[in-house]
């Protein structure tokens, strides 16, 4: 569109009415966009345990970089790490207790 056409179009618009219509549509739930993000189990487990990435990585015996790769979905834990992550997710207090015992030893 040319500048002249844009000005002519905008002169005919009732911005207030358009905004009011938009607000009414939002209140009615129309045009709602819902985003869902799948959080990896390892991230949930770490968050439930209340440990930092460094603490959680040390407890699992892996590097922080490896933990970050798991949390960002670039790699998947295997074997014993997966078992510990499952325990951490289901029983975060147990993991915190183990971490406390290791830290004080």
- 37-89 pLDDT tens trace: 889 999 999 998 888 999 899 888 899 999 999 999 999 998 888 998 998 88
pTM equals: 0.61
The predicted structure's pLDDT at residue 47: 92
Q: pLDDT confidence of 99, banded at 50, 70, 90?
A: confident
DSSP assignments along 22-69, one per residue: HHHHHHTTTT------PPPHHHHHHHHHT--HHHHHHHHTS-HHHHHH
């Amino acid at each position: 569109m040319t500048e002249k056409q844009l000005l002519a179009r905008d002169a005919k618009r009732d911005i207030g009415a358009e905004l009011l219509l938009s607000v009414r549509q939002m209140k009615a739930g129309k045009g709602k966009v819902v985003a869902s993000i799948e959080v990896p189990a390892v991230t949930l487990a770490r968050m439930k345990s209340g440990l930092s990435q460094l603490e959680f990585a040390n407890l699992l015996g892996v590097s922080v970089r490896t933990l970050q790769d798991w949390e960002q979905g670039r790699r998947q834990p295997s074997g014993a790490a997966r078992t510990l992550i499952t325990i951490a997710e289901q029983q975060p207090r147990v993991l915190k207790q183990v971490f406390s015992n290791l830290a004080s030893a």
